[in-house]
Structure formats: structure tokens, C-alpha cells
Amino acid sequence: MMKIQKKLAVINDLSGYGRCSLTVALPVVSAMGVQCCPVPTSILSNHTGYPVYFFDDYTEKLPAYIGKWKELGLSFDGILTGFLGSAEQIEVVEDFLDCFTTHPSFREAPESGCTKVIIDPIMGDHGKVYSTLTPELCDRMKCLAARADVLTPNLTEACILTDTPYQPHFTQKELDTLFGRLATLCAGQIVLTGVDMGTYLANLVFDPDSGKFLTLRKKRVAAERCGTGDIFSAVVAAGILNGMSLKEAAQKAASFICLCLKETAGYDISESDGVVFEPFLKYLIQ
């Protein structure tokens, strides 16, 4: 019997320099044995964390790009969305989901052949929203997040999605309330990433069936760097397609990022350059 390789469509921008978005998703997903099929929303010489950059918006080109995939009758086992710069791009992504999602929800049909939708609602971090975020974009992101089988917001993004005032530290009761609001928005599984717990960073995995969340803590090993969120969502998406539970995939992603952060501390590179992950891709290979 012939083997079948899983395919993941990744909708994100492509930055030529600075490890983030498609630049990290392509090697990470590939290392985990999944075919990565990129849908570039924009092309940048380097990400916007640098003083200057070239930027080419692909919004107008996306329908024609995706149209050829429709003509070919392609299908995907998973769809991962990342940074989207406008409400128009979210509209394109919603159309992409309509065309390429083979079942409305793998929670309702967990058999093989259904498409897993992983939404990383990239909108801000550390209480600060990105400059591209408009009220319209925020509202459309809420609609997109509602379609996720797996939603991976950080604390800032969770607050934006639920209209919750941001604060750097939440009590247990406040986290329960926040997850309740997220569960009202999205019926899928949720992992709240990068929650500050002093000497630890935690990822909180929410199970909609039990209504409870599991805290996965990792001790801080180095300063935070650009692109780790993109690595996290890529590992989680590929892990899920490989049959991992969300807990297992989130643990694998966190362990890999910790390894990369620790080793990167020994390199002479700036924070904007992200993490040195290339020598450690072997740890993702099953």
C-alpha cells in the first residue's frame, strides 16, 4: 500500500531575512515530515522589526494564486494561518477555508480525510497591538478565529479577541473567565501561549469537552526573541497532522523553542534575527 504524506497549507508573509513567518514554517514543518505548501500574503526583504524594509503586499495577487490550486483540485490535511495585514486578506483566507476545508470541523468528524484548521491570530504582544490592527481587522479576526479547530493566541491576542482589558498577570479566576470568553468565541481547542509566571513561561491548553485547561510550564532559559511564536504554531500544526494531541504538540513546540533559545544565547546575533534553530531541526524529526 502506497504511503500518503500529509500536506499543510501555510498562509503567512515571507520575510527574506529575520527568522519568522514562512521562513521558519517551511523548514520546521518539513522536518516533521509534513509537506509545507506556502501561501504568501506579502513579501518582505526582512521583517518590520528592523529599521528599514522592503514590503510588497500580495492581497491583489492572492485570488489568482489560490485560483490555480482550485483549478488543480488540490486538497490539504491542514491549514495554518499566521499574520494577516488587512481585513481584505482575512476575507481571502475565509474563502480559502470554504474551498479547501474538506469538513467543517474535525472535532465532528475525526476520521482521516478531514481538514484541521489552525489559526494563529497574530495581532500583538506584551499588551501592545500591531500598527496594522484596525477595528475592522479585529472584528474580522474574531470571525476567523471562530472557525478554528485549534486557536493559538498569546495573552494580548486573547484579550483583543474577547474585549478583555490587558494586564500582564492574571489570577486563576481571571484566567478561567478569559478561557470562558475564548470558548464562547471558538468551539475548538485553544492553547494560550507565553503566559508569564515569574521564572516560568507557560502555555495553557484548553479542552472544550471538559471546560478545563492544563498548564504546561517551562523555565525561562533566555530572553525572548522574534519568530518564536511562528515556530510554535508550525510545530503544533505539523504535530497535530502527525497524530499528536494538542498537549503533546504544545509540549514539543515549547521544548524545541527552549532548546533553540538556550543555544542562541551563545551566538553573536541580535534579537531581531530570531533564534538559531537550523542545527536543531533534527530534534523535530520523528
CATH code for position 194: 3.40.1190.20
- For residue 283, being part of any structural domain is answered with no
Q: Above 50 in pLDDT, residue 124?
A: yes
- For residue 285, being part of any structural domain is answered with no
Please state the domain count of the chain.
Answer: 1
Q: Helix or strand or coil: residue 257?
A: helix
- For residue 2, being part of any structural domain is answered with no
- For residue 168, being part of any structural domain is answered with yes
Section 208-229 average pLDDT: 80
Estimate to the nearest angstrom the gap between the alpha carbon of 227 and the chain centroid. 11
- For residue 286, being part of any structural domain is answered with no
pLDDT at 4: 87
pLDDT at 102: 76
Question: What is the per-residue pLDDT across 44-54, written as a single tens digit (0 to 9) for each?
Answer: 999 988 999 99
The percent of residues in the chain predicted with pLDDT above 90, rounded, is 72
pLDDT band (50, 70, 90) for residue 230: very high
pLDDT band (50, 70, 90) for residue 107: very low
pLDDT at 208: 75
pLDDT at 113: 58
Query: H-type helices in the chain, by residue range?
Result: 21-31, 62-72, 87-100, 135-145, 155-162, 172-185, 228-241, 246-264
Q: Above 50 in pLDDT, residue 74?
A: yes
- For residue 201, being part of any structural domain is answered with yes
pLDDT band (50, 70, 90) for residue 254: very high
User: What cell numbers appear for 132 in the block?
Assistant: 496594522
Average pLDDT of the residues of the chain: 91
pLDDT at 109: 43
- Helix, strand, coil percentages in the chain from 3-state DSSP, rounded to 5: 40, 20, 40
pLDDT at 110: 42
Q: Above 50 in pLDDT, residue 111?
A: no
Q: Above 80 in pLDDT, residue 205?
A: yes
- For residue 265, being part of any structural domain is answered with yes
Section 237-253 average pLDDT: 96
- For residue 284, being part of any structural domain is answered with no
Q: Above 60 in pLDDT, residue 96?
A: yes
Query: What range does the domain containing 177 cover?
Result: 7-278
